[in-house]
Amino acid sequence: MSNKVAVITRTKNRNILLKRALESVTRQTHENWVMVIVNDGGEPNAVNELVNKYNTEGKIITIHNPESVGMEAASNIGIKKVESDYIVIHDDDDSWHPTFLERTVNHLTNVEKSKNVKGVITHSTRIIERIENDTVIIDFKEPYNTWINSVTLYRMAAGNVFPPISFVFKREVIDEIGLYREDLPVLGDWDFHLRFIEKYNIDVIHEQLAYYHHRVTLQHGDYSNSVFGGNNKHLYYDTFLRNDYLRKDLEQNKVGLGFLVNIAKSFEVVHAQISPLEKAVEKIKNNKLVRKILKP
C-alpha cells in the first residue's frame, strides 16, 4: 500500500507522556501509518500494557532495548524495523493536530518533482506544561516558529529552526545521506536536518499542526526535556558539530558545510548583539522630547 508513514517514537519510563503520543497518532485522519515505539532501556511491562490498549488494528510495533542505546540509535532501530514511503520522528512527549499526517503526506505526494522537495514541515505551537500527581497540566501555549516562510540552508546552518515532530520526509533520502548519527547524545536532529537540506529542499505548510511540548521547570529526571535538562550538553555538542564539519572541509580542501555553519553562527552572534541596540535607538527616536529636538 502506498503512502505509508513510519512514525518512530523513542521512550523511556515516561508512560504519562507516551499515552498522549499514542492518542496523537491513533487519532490521525490519515490512517495509512505504522508506529514503531522503541523503549530504550525502560521498564517493558508498563509500556506493553499501555500500547495494547491502543493497538486494536495491529499497526503499533514495540521494541524493547535491554539497555539504553541513546536517542539517535533508538531512532535508527525503529526506522530499520519497517518499510515505508515516509518517515517522521514523533517524540513521546510531543503531539499532533489530527490532520497533520493527512496534510503533510498529501503535500509530499503532490509536490512537483522539479522542485527537488523531499520533506515538509508545518508550523508549530509550543506548549509549556508541568506534571503534578501523574497529570499533565498545561500552563500556556504560544506560536513557536510561525516566522518561517521557507527553510533555507543558510538559516539552518545557524541553528535548528524546527522540531522533529513537525517534519515528514521521504524515506528514499536516507539511502543518500544516511541515518541519524549515533555518536550524538543531543542535536542529532539538527545534524540530520543539515545533511538533508544540503541535498534537498524542505517545504513549509503555514499552519500550526505540530505541538512541541516543553516542561521548563523540570531540569532533571525521566520527564525533563533534553533541550532544558541537558542544556550544557547542547552547548558542548553545538561546538563539537561545527568543528567537526569544518575539519572535514579542511581535510577535503573545499568550502562546504563546515564553513557555512561557522559563518552563519558568527552572523547570528553579531545580529544578537546589534538587535538590542537597534531597538534602543528606535525607542530613543520615538521619544517625544528627542523628536522635538531633532525636528527640522
Mean pLDDT on 17-37: 97
- Looking at residue 285, what is its pLDDT? 53
For the stretch 141-200, pLDDT in tens is: 999 999 999 999 989 999 999 999 999 999 999 999 999 999 999 999 999 999 999 999
pTM: 0.85
Mean pLDDT on 256-273: 72
- Looking at residue 113, what is its pLDDT? 77
> Does residue 121 sit in the same domain as residue 215?
yes
Mean pLDDT on 41-63: 96
Q: Select from 249, 265, 284 the last residue of a domain.
A: 249
Span of 98-112, 130-144, 270-284 with lowest mean pLDDT = 270-284
What single-letter DSSP state applies at residue 114? G
> Does residue 189 sit in the same domain as residue 50?
yes
Q: Where are the beta strands (DSSP E) in the chain?
A: 5-11, 33-40, 60-65, 86-89, 95-96, 117-132, 135-143, 167-170, 201-214
> Does residue 125 sit in the same domain as residue 77?
yes
Mean pLDDT on 126-133: 91
> Does residue 45 sit in the same domain as residue 177?
yes
285: domain range? 250-294
> Does residue 186 sit in the same domain as residue 261?
no
> Does residue 263 sit in the same domain as residue 139?
no
Task: With beta carbons less than 8 A apart as the criterion, state whether 144 and 199 touch.
Answer: no
Mean predicted lDDT score pLDDT of the chain: 88
CA–CA dist 262, 139 (Å, integer): 37
Statement: residue 253 has pLDDT above 80: yes
- Looking at residue 32, what is its pLDDT? 97
How crowded is residue 209: how many other Cβ atoms within 10 Å of its Cβ?
A: 22
> Does residue 34 sit in the same domain as residue 159?
yes
Choice between 286 and 42, residue whose per-residue pLDDT is larger: 42
> Does residue 55 sit in the same domain as residue 159?
yes
Span of 43-57, 65-79, 266-280 with lowest mean pLDDT = 266-280
Statement: residue 281 has pLDDT above 90: no
> Does residue 148 sit in the same domain as residue 263?
no
> Does residue 128 sit in the same domain as residue 97?
yes
Assigned C-alpha cell, 71: 536517542
Q: What is the CATH number of the domain that holds 44?
A: 3.90.550.10
Cα dist from 232 to 83, 103, 184, 225, 235, whole Å = 36, 36, 14, 13, 5
- Looking at residue 268, what is its pLDDT? 64
**Beta pairing, strands 5-11 & 86-89:** parallel
Total structural domains within the chain: 2
Span of 91-95, 165-169, 182-186, 259-263 with lowest mean pLDDT = 259-263
Task: With beta carbons less than 8 A apart as the criterion, state whether 134 and 16 touch.
Answer: yes
> Does residue 130 sit in the same domain as residue 262?
no
> Does residue 191 sit in the same domain as residue 281?
no
